Amino acid sequence: MISFPKEFVFGWSQSGFESEMGTPGSEDSNSDWYIWTHDLENIVSGLTVEDYPENGPGYWGNYESYHKNAVDMNLEVMRTNTEWSRIFPKPTTEVKVDVEVKNGCVTYVDVSESALKKLDQLANKRAVEHYRRIFNDAKERDLKFILNMYHWTLPTWIHDPLAVRRGMKTEKSGWLNIRTVIEFIKYVAYVSWKFDDLVDMYSTMNEPNVIWRNGYIFVNSRFPPAYLSFDCANIVRYNLIQAHARAYDILKSYKKPVGVIYAAPYIMPLTESDKEAASRAKIDYIWFFFDAIVDGKIDEEVRDDLRGRVDWIGVNYYTREVIKRLKNNRYTIVKGYGHYCESSSKSLDGRPTSDWGWECYPEGLYNVLLEFWDRYHLPMYVTENGIADKEDRLRPHYLVSHLYQVHRALQSGVSVKGYLHWTLVDTYEFSIGRSMRFGLIYVDYATKKLYWRLSAFLYKEIAENKAITDRIEYLVQESS
């Protein structure tokens, strides 16, 4: 038996946009992702698929069923987010707050009690009240609750991704505009003010590195605004760092742990001669952000207002990225490994791949956890780990083999506090729609009925025993 500590928690993660819509009255048409997925030019060009979020799994209306299934699975913790566009479908720019901005640096934002009351007048009360019902139901079932503030979607009054994609000048440029940092802090202050009594831990945002890389560099990834510009990517990265730090300041006033959740593939070289390039890729994609919020180091300067702005790190791990050096100190990601394989096949390394073409590489999770621990020595949660596998063919091995790597990290002295699977129920996966099914539970999208996959029973056994039990330990090595 491979046992985990008694205090180690098992749970699941999900996001608002991907899970909420699907039942009558659940539609939220006020986010950038909503208009992005409905845009005809995007659909025709292949930037999105003709599949719409309002046909999603229906958590907004069926949250009680989700929570009951989670408790039946012996899960202890959930992570989800409020949707900014649901809370504030209309602009909050008229609400004045105390702000210090110096040379593009947002060093201070304070949202007073009077400002919060003004925000309360602008908020969508029906959405606020419904979120309270959802979160209260989770707490009544003794689920620990991690409230994440931001999972990729922005209100349309602050981001018009179609205008940005077309190269049009617009004030609604999302994270390219420093005002988004300030408006985000208003939103964070309001949400925490309304829901803190139900929250155990906070996360400021989910995978900010995906926002700047997929939106402005890997534009074929179908993420808004699909505007190719390294300069824009750097601006967005900088503003997201500032947004995290200022959100941390607000949330920390509630005396609860505040973290950030980050996409963390294991970045490795193709050959020995590619080691330096892989190190550079790791700095660009991962360490740049964390060096800023841990040590205050950013663009060859040290900012005290950024330093020490994280209590815990959420690691989202799915697979690896293999790096090859190019000329002029550049690098590229090698196709045939990691996220860049053919679906339901084998990688160039002979490893199985998911329905989405993501390579199964469990040992990368151990390496990522060890690297974070050695560099920052901060406690971690694995906040996402899962596989698109409609037939549940690979998920049993994927689940157990990755949990084994978490156990290895614990044995190596790494502080890992819990594991949250992505995800409990199949979701609408942003730009790819409903075709990629990550759920432990299958959802019939027509009826919204939920059916346990075999891997759900497997996860239940692990969570119930806090262990990979003897009768399933063989799955650590099995890979077919």
Q: Which residues are catalytic?
A: 207, 384
Other Cβ atoms within 10 Å of 32 Cβ, number = 26
CB atoms near residue 110 (< 10 Å): 14
DSSP string, 281-347: HHIIIIIHHHHHHHH-EETTEE-TTTTT--SEEEEE---EEEEEE-STT-EEEPTTSTT-S-TTSB-
d(CA 67, CA 296): 39
Q: How far apart are CA 434 and CA 432, in angstroms?
A: 7
| Contact (CB, 8 A) for 149 and 256 | no
Token digits of residue 263: 């996409």
Count of other CB atoms within 10 angstroms of residue 25: 9
Q: Which tokens hold the place of 217?
A: 């560099």
Strands 258-263 and 201-206: parallel
C-alpha closest to that of 18 among 426, 447, 453: 426
Q: Where are the beta strands (DSSP E) in 67-211?
A: 77-81, 98-102, 105-110, 144-148, 201-206
Contact predicate 322/269, CB 8 Å: yes
- Cα angle 410-201-266, degrees, rounded to a multiple of 5: 45
Tokens coding 475: 């799955």
Give whole-number Cα distances, 320 to 206, 368, 381, in Å: 19, 10, 18
